[in-house]
Amino acid sequence: MTIEAIALDGLDEKAAEAFPGLVVRKDLVRRLRSAYSVPIFVIEFLLGKYCAATDPLVIEQGLAFVHRNLSEKYVKPDESEAIKSRIQLRGSDQIIDKVSATLRETDDKYWARLHNALIDFVNVDQQLIEEHDRLLMGGVWAEVSLGYDPSLKFHNATRPFFIEKLKPIQLSTRGIGPVQEARAAFSRDEWIDLLIRSLGMEPNHEYFSPRRKLLYLTRLIPLVERNYNLIELGPRGTGKSFVYQQISPYCHLVSGGQTSVPQMFVNLASGQRGLVCLWDTVAFDEAAGVRFQDKNGISIMKNYMEDGTFSRGREIISAEGSIVFVGNLDGDIQTILRTSNLFYPLPKEMDTAFFDRIHAYLPGWELGKTRDEYYTSHFGFVSDYLAEILRHLRKTSYVDLPEKLFAFGSHVGGRDAKAVRKTVSGLVKLLHPNGDVTKGELAEYIELALELRRRVKEQLKKMGGLEYWDVNFSYVDRETSQQTFVPLPESGGGTVISGDPLPPGSVYTIGSDPSDRRLAIYLLQTQINPGSGRMIPLGSLSPVMKEALKAADAYLRAHIRDLGIDRDPKQYDFTVQAVNLNQAKEGAETAIAFFISMVSALLERPTDPTTVIMGEMSVKGMLQKVSNLPERLQMALEAGAKRILIPSENKRDLADVPDEVLNKLQPIFYTDPINAAIRAMGLQ
Q: Are 337 and 494 in contact (CB under 8 A)?
A: yes
User: Residue 459: in which H helix or E strand, if any?
Assistant: helix 439-464
Give SS3 for 571: helix
Q: Are residues 329 and 370 in the same domain?
A: yes
pLDDT-derived band at 586, boundaries 50, 70, 90: low
- Return the CATH number at 371: 3.40.50.300
Q: What are phi and psi of 467, to 5 degrees?
A: -60, -30
The DSSP code sequence of 201-244 is B-TTSTT--HHHHHHHHHTTHHHHSTT-EEEEEE-TTS-TTHII
Flag whether 494 is in a domain.
no
Flag whether 386 is in a domain.
yes
pLDDT reported for residue 1: 47
Edge-first strand listing for the sheet containing 611-613: 535-538, 572-580, 518-530, 506-513, 611-613, 643-647, 666-670
- Return the CATH number at 625: 3.30.230.10
Q: What percent of the chain has pLDDT over 70?
A: 94
pLDDT tens across 169-191, in order? 765 444 556 788 899 999 999 99
Q: Are residues 549 and 610 in the same domain?
A: yes
Question: Is the pLDDT score of 419 beyond 80?
Answer: yes
Instruction: Report the half-sphere exposure of 413 (CA within 13 A, side-chain side).
Output: 12
Q: What percent of the chain has pLDDT over 90?
A: 53
pLDDT tens across 99-135, in order? 999 998 889 999 999 999 999 999 999 999 888 877 8
Residue 326's DSSP bridge partners are 232
Question: Is the pLDDT score of 552 beyond 90?
Answer: yes
pLDDT reported for residue 617: 93
Picking from 485, 519, 544, the residue at the C-terminal end of a domain is 485
pLDDT-derived band at 53, boundaries 50, 70, 90: low
Task: Report the alpha-carbon distance of residue 160 to residue 488 in Å, rounded.
Answer: 65
Q: Are residues 68 and 86 in the same domain?
A: no
Q: 419 vs 318, 322, 431, 449, 645, CA distance in Å?
A: 19, 13, 18, 8, 39
Region class of 462: left (phi > 0), else alpha (psi between -120 and 50), else beta: alpha
Q: 3 vs 22, 122, 374, CA distance in Å?
A: 20, 40, 20
Flag whether 1 is in a domain.
no
Q: What are phi and psi of 455, to 5 degrees?
A: -60, -35
pLDDT reported for residue 172: 46
Q: Are residues 283 and 152 in the same domain?
A: no
Q: Are residues 96 and 161 in the same domain?
A: yes
Flag whether 229 is in a domain.
yes
pLDDT reported for residue 153: 92
The DSSP code sequence of 87-123 is HHHHSEEEEEEEEEEEEETTTTEEEEEETTTTEEEEE
Flag whether 296 is in a domain.
yes
pLDDT tens across 190-243, in order? 999 999 999 999 999 999 999 999 999 999 999 999 999 999 999 999 999 888
Q: Are residues 548 and 640 in the same domain?
A: yes
Q: Are 326 and 284 in contact (CB under 8 A)?
A: yes
Q: Are residues 138 and 41 in the same domain?
A: no
The DSSP code sequence of 292-349 is ESSTTHHHHHHHHHHHSEEEETTEEEE---EEEEEEE--S-HHHHHHHS-TTTTS-TT
Q: Are residues 377 and 294 in the same domain?
A: yes
Q: Are residues 140 and 264 in the same domain?
A: no
The region of weakest confidence among 257-266, 590-599, 640-649 is 257-266
pLDDT reported for residue 506: 94
Amino acid letter at 394? R
Task: Report the alpha-carbon distance of residue 363 to residue 345 in Å, rounded.
Answer: 14
Which of 638, 339, 331 is CA-nearest to residue 497? Answer: 638
**pTM of the complete model:** 0.69
Flag whether 623 is in a domain.
yes
Flag whether 634 is in a domain.
yes
Instruction: Report the half-sphere exposure of 508 (CA within 13 A, side-chain side).
Output: 28
Q: Are 136 and 102 in contact (CB under 8 A)?
A: yes
With 0-12 / 13-18 / 19 or more C-beta atoms within 10 angstroms meaning exposed / middle / buried, residue 654 is: middle
Question: Is the pLDDT score of 269 beyond 70?
Answer: yes
pLDDT reported for residue 560: 92
Flag whether 201 is in a domain.
yes
Q: Are residues 381 and 406 in the same domain?
A: no
- Could you list the residue range(s) of the whole structural domain that residue 454 is in? 402-485
pLDDT-derived band at 493, boundaries 50, 70, 90: very low
pLDDT tens across 16-34, in order? 899 887 888 888 888 787 7
Task: Report the alpha-carbon distance of residue 4 to residue 6 in Å, rounded.
Answer: 6
The region of weakest confidence among 43-47, 119-123, 609-613, 628-632 is 43-47
Task: Report the alpha-carbon distance of residue 93 to residue 96 in Å, rounded.
Answer: 10
Give SS3 for 511: strand
- The domain tally of the chain equals 5
Q: Are residues 558 and 585 in the same domain?
A: yes
Residue 588 makes CB contacts below 8 A (sequence gap 6+) with: 511, 512, 513, 514, 544, 545, 548, 616
Helices H, strands E: what count in the chain? 25, 30
Q: Are 627 and 589 in contact (CB under 8 A)?
A: yes
Q: Are residues 219 and 284 in the same domain?
A: yes
| End-to-end Cα spacing for the chain | 86
pLDDT reported for residue 583: 52
Task: Report the alpha-carbon distance of residue 484 to residue 477 in Å, rounded.
Answer: 8
Q: Average model confidence (pLDDT) for the chain?
A: 88
Question: Is the pLDDT score of 585 beyond 60?
Answer: no
pLDDT reported for residue 494: 43
Residue 360's DSSP bridge partners are 230
Q: Are 152 and 162 in contact (CB under 8 A)?
A: yes
Question: Is the pLDDT score of 542 beyond 80?
Answer: yes
Angle 414-431/210-218 helices, nearest 10 degrees?
Answer: 110
Picking from 26, 55, 73, the residue at the C-terminal end of a domain is 73
Residue 111's DSSP bridge partners are 102, 123
pLDDT reported for residue 455: 95
Picking from 24, 51, 73, the residue at the C-terminal end of a domain is 73
pLDDT reported for residue 324: 97
